[in-house]
Structure 1
Amino acid sequence: MYKRTWWIILPTVLTVLAFQTYWLVATYRDQRRTFYNQAKDALQYTYDQAFMESLVTVQMKQLHSSPKAIDSAIRDIMEENEISFSSTIIASDTMRGSTLKNARTTTMSREDLQPFLSSILSNMPGLRPDSQKVLKTYIKELAARGIGVGVELSYAKNTDTTGNHISIPLSISEPDNKLHARFSGVGNYLMKKMSGPVIISLILLLIVAGCIWVLWRIIMRQKALEAMRSDFISNITHELKTPVAILSTINESLLTYNGMDDKNKTERYLRLSKDELNKLQGHIEEILTLSKMENGIALAESNEVLLPEVLNMVQQRYIHLPGVYITTVMEVTETIVQTHRESLFTILNNLVDNSIKYADKPEKRIELRVKQQDTSYLFSVTDNGIGISKEHLPFIFDKFYRVPQGDLHNVKGYGLGLSYVKELVSRLGGSIKVSSTPGSGSLFTFKIPGA
């Protein structure tokens, strides 16, 4: 299952990464292409404006030096917003002695006329704009279009447009004579422009990674539950087989070896059978009760419970065991609490039973303590057992979970005791927590309302 999971996750991750990479690269190329198109259009516009200003300056100088020297045609052009060009075609028919005239008029706006004039007149002396002046205007034009990069301008006769470099031709007659613009900081500018797609891409990647992580946790959780289920079946089979084997042996002894003739032996065997049947019945009732609670079946009505009596019942149940020492401490002003008697006894009994099971010292010392906190009661069960490692503490109240101890049957149980305890505490309106140090013991604390 582990390998099959990786064969599902890895192609998914690689596909998402490949798609995101392709999308980002395509977006970067599109942004780069758009940048150079806008930069080239801005350069052409700036140069045309500068050329027309240079043309006006030259004509004004000629006007001041010699009023008759100004070209009236150019002056008229500069004063009009639209320029009209007229052409007439005359066709003569000598056979009929007639003449046909065809007149055509073309109108061009001043904005369209600027690049036309600059490409025709740029080679005229004194009309080429100063590159530094063009540069200042170009920087302003780029800023107006939202483009913030470093730029250098130069006039040169070459066609090199590699790297961060664009150029525009200055003359129709000499196309190799160009105005070149070289940019710096284009990469940073493009990355800022792409900040939106990059953020979206990162968010998508985080969402996908989060989904994969959740899926992985679910799969691992299911795997752990499957392992715990197998352990539960193994352990409960062992727990059920043991009393069945004992009962079978007792019956065989009584029936086969004339055990019925010995009254004392018969009584001893019957008491042993009763104890095993009580244990078996307890296991079955615990499983059935837990199943009922999970299905929403409520506990019986609460009643008045005498705390010293319940603590004494728990203490007396185990005090006859060798090496077991149970002490009770009560720090309460009111010894009667309104709760469910059987549930409180079961909680304390299961916690003490666990403490005894997981004790590795000859003297198993357990303390039952009760404190009163306003209208609530705080119970604690402290032992000097083997303790629980920190990594297992978050899971010990899970159903079927058992702290790994090597041999599953070294300690009897099937992983339902603490889960049952937590469910009962919750049904009583309380909460439970645990703290433990390996080698020093554990402390289980639960709080329930007193009324």
Structure 2
Amino acid sequence: MKKSKFTYIVIAVVSFLALTSVQAYLIYNTFKLRNDQYKIPEKKIVRERYEREMTNENLFPGAGKIVDRYIENDNIYLLENYYKKDSAQFELLKQRMLDSTWQALTARNNMDSLLTDILQNNDIHETFRYALVLNAIDVAFESNRYIPLYEAGRFYPLLNVAAQKPMGLLIGGNLKKPGRHNLVSSLTLSSTRPYSYRISFSLFMDTDDRTLTILKLMWPLLLLSVLSVLGVVTIFFATYMNWLRQRKLSDMKSDFINNITHELHTPLAAIAVAGKSLRNDRINERKENILALTDVIERQSCRLRQLITQVLDITASGKIALNKSPQSVHQHLEEILLDFRLKYTEENILLELHKDARQAEAEIDPFWFATMVFNLLDNAVKYNTSKDKRITVSTRNNKKQLELRIEDNGIGIPAAVQRYVFDKFYRHTRQEVTQIKGLGLGLYYVKQCVEAHGWDLQTVSPPGKGTLFLISIPLLQ
């Protein structure tokens, strides 16, 4: 049962993970598509104004003079000399030029004020983030023959590491993820004359809540996805609960058969022995013998009827229903031991009853009390390899309780398994135990009876010295 439940749950979890993974993949791809298609109307206004400002400029107003100074005017001839004669010095000078250019551009970047001016002049009040990125710089020593100084995607050790982004060298702005989806303008400015340069740069702009805005546009898809997952989980849970109910019904049927097999044996055996004894001529000579045997048959027949009703109840509910009333424990013990002796007439058993308790009146259910004692006595015989089997049943008073003690000289119960012997269907793996027929239900019924009455049960079993079951029963007040 546990293994099949585990397998069922594992399959369900794997299926659920597969479903959610597919859903997540579809949502992610839908988000990417919506992200690429999402248009900010203000970008057109910004692009037109920005590109107009960049007619005779690059990057931002005033940046052209900075780039001219560091790239074209101060270093271009020295750069040409190193390019032709010393590649290592060319690489070193190139990166130093780029670093000086980047520092000057970031220090004098006025893109913030330009963007603010564009938005205010067009009565746009929404907050935007931007990124101004240098994509590439090439130098030409000869007309239209360009040599790269900076290329986006390459790492330059002498440049600021934080400024080197996948899209290029960050000049200004606080937009964290510039990309094709938030590109405003991408320009390339060049000259056809020798000893000049070509520069490519891009402006990116986006809202603060782009992701949230796109998710809001996707809410029908997200809602449908969540509802479909919840629907699958609900269907699984309903199916799983129905499966558990079916398994419980199946187990109840199995338990019923096992319970009947185990419990019917005792009264049937007593009735069979009593019936056989009635055919004995010597017993029939005395009327009191016949009356005693007919009492046994009547008592055990009544027990059979009760047993069938009780087994049905415990199988259906897993609990036992008690019908308690004030009873004499001693009287019931005498009847139980009389019936038990009839069952084991051919066994060499010394069965003793010591009624040492002065008070023996308690609230008990006669049927379940008999079931409990019968099972303890049965075990005392079955799990006993001694030639002379001794079973002692005794009572004594302890404060406001009646102590019922059932002690035998059997094989005992190892300390390591004493906590398990009251579990349903538990059978120890010792060879002397496995050779004895049984279903592992006897002590389970004992525990059921004790717990239903609210009594206390203790087990004492020293190795090789038999077993003592001590049951504490509250007395009538």
TM range (shorter): 0.3 to 0.5
Normalising by structure 1, we get a TM-score of 0.47
Normalising by structure 2, we get a TM-score of 0.45
